[in-house]
Amino acid sequence: MSNKVRLGLIGASVAGTWSSRSHLPALGASDTVDLTAVCTTKPESAEAARKAYGARLAFHDYNTMAASPDLDAVAVVVRVPSHYGPVKAALEAGKHVYCEWPLGRTTAEAEELAALAKAKGLTTAVGLQARVNPALLHMKSLIESGYVGEIVAVHVKLMREGVLARPSNRVWQRDGSLGANTLTIANGHTLDALRFVAGPFRSVSAVVTTQVKQWLDTGTKEMLDVTSPDNILVNGWLANGAVVSSHVNAIPYAGSGYRMEIYGRDGTLIATGEDSPQLGEVSLHGAQGSNKLEPIEIPAHYRIVPPSTPDGEPVNVGQMYARFAQAIGGSSEGLPDFDTAVALHKFIDAIAKSSETGTAQPAQ
């Protein structure tokens, strides 16, 4: 226990949230990070979370938790509009920080937080979990070793269900200015995975649109106007000369899931999954010198979480915590940090600007 990173988690709901589905199970299995403290907005819920997850301390004010001498690091797993305050408080208190993606509601917030972390000399991580997905790590390694040769074309798509109704506690996501929508989250994770595996974009052209313009609030039975985008079409050039196309959307029913296709002069690699590679398992298939795709086994060494880590959503989050602990110890290889987040924020800005202006935008 003494060698573990002592972590305080902000956003430790007992049930039903991303935190309870992924972060807390991953931490429960971690052999490098100790869930020392939890923080929610009320004393009662904080104490309930402490008992449920075996933490030693409970807080209902993130400033108080950030100042605690019993912690080395803080994880911020709350709604996107609320990231800025607790991240800044933790950094100012000298704590290392793991924040979920997006880092800020805006690029300006992300840039400020990244600069503060750098000035303080602190280790940071941002929840771009596709970068530690074992299948995509292997896919990237195969590309770098020449499996596909020169990349000539890339296509990626994520078609996922986007319900037409929301409970009252989730209708806030209809406001595009709050930074939590298909453009920033589903599209952000999907294109970050593409950039991680196949290389950065050189230029981008895009269509960003809201196809479902009203949601039903199931609590009040009101129809509410929506400004959050739900369909993002992107095409352009990668820096390595490949052409690229992408479609990420939230459709009403029967989404077909995730697929990334990398086509090169010497071979093809295809990654598929039921949902975003940030969330769950991805299967890998490849072909070299033929038109027949064969399954590719993912080497066991890419999975660095303990065997007791539950399958599904906790795996990639657990991978992030393992690398976060390594980085705090001095080895930051492969950890997406706040600088990674700022670069993705700027790329998404370029996508939005292309759609607004109808012109291609530089992407670097």
Q: What is the band of 174 on the pLDDT scale with cuts at 50, 70, 90?
A: very high
Please state, in angstroms and as integers, the Cα–Cα distance from residue 254 to each residue in 161, 164, 274, 287, 339, following that order.
6, 13, 11, 29, 36
Q: Say if residue 2's pLDDT is above 70.
A: no
Please state, in angstroms and as integers, the Cα–Cα distance from residue 301 to each residue in 126, 307, 334, 349, following that order.
23, 12, 14, 36
Please state, in angstroms and as integers, the Cα–Cα distance from residue 278 to each residue in 58, 90, 359, following that order.
29, 25, 30
Express each pLDDT in 309-363 by its tens digit.
999 999 999 999 999 999 999 987 889 999 999 999 999 999 999 999 999 999 9
Express each pLDDT in 117-131 by its tens digit.
999 999 999 999 999
- Say whether 117 sits in a helix, a strand or coil: helix
Q: Say if residue 181's pLDDT is above 60.
A: yes
Residue 212 pLDDT: 94
Within 13 Å of residue 193, how many CA atoms lie on the same side as its CB?
A: 38
Residue 310 pLDDT: 96
**CA–CA separation, 222 vs 358, rounded Å?**
34
Q: Which neighbouring-strand residues pair with 165? A: 216
Mean pLDDT of 208-233: 96
Q: What is the band of 232 on the pLDDT scale with cuts at 50, 70, 90?
A: very high
**CA–CA separation, 129 vs 241, rounded Å?**
26
> Which residue segments constitute the domains of the chain, with CATH numbers given?
5-122 (3.40.50.720), 130-305+337-362 (3.30.360.10)
Q: Which residue has the higher pLDDT, 364 or 21?
A: 21
Q: Which two tokens stand for residue 237?
A: 């050039």
Q: Which contacts of 116-120 are long-range, i.e. CB under 8 A and separated by 24 or more positions?
A: 116/88, 116/91, 116/92, 117/91, 117/338, 118/338, 118/339, 120/91, 120/92, 120/94
- Say whether 83 sits in a helix, a strand or coil: coil
Nearest CA to 252 out of 230, 220, 234, 273 is that of: 230
Express each pLDDT in 241-275 by its tens digit.
999 999 999 999 999 999 999 999 999 999 999 99
Asked if 80 and 102 count as a contact pair (C-beta separation under 8 A), the reply is: yes
Asked if 77 and 100 count as a contact pair (C-beta separation under 8 A), the reply is: yes
Express each pLDDT in 30-78 by its tens digit.
999 999 999 999 999 999 999 999 999 999 999 999 999 999 999 999 9
- Say whether 208 sits in a helix, a strand or coil: strand
Q: Say if residue 14's pLDDT is above 80.
A: no
Alpha-helical regions (H) of 10-168: 18, 24-29, 43-53, 62-66, 84-92, 107-120, 134-144
Express each pLDDT in 270-305 by its tens digit.
999 999 999 989 999 999 989 999 999 999 999 999
Residue 302 pLDDT: 97
Asked if 58 and 70 count as a contact pair (C-beta separation under 8 A), the reply is: no
Residue 1 pLDDT: 43
Mean pLDDT of 221-234: 97
Residue 148 pLDDT: 98
Q: Which two tokens stand for residue 219?
A: 């609590």
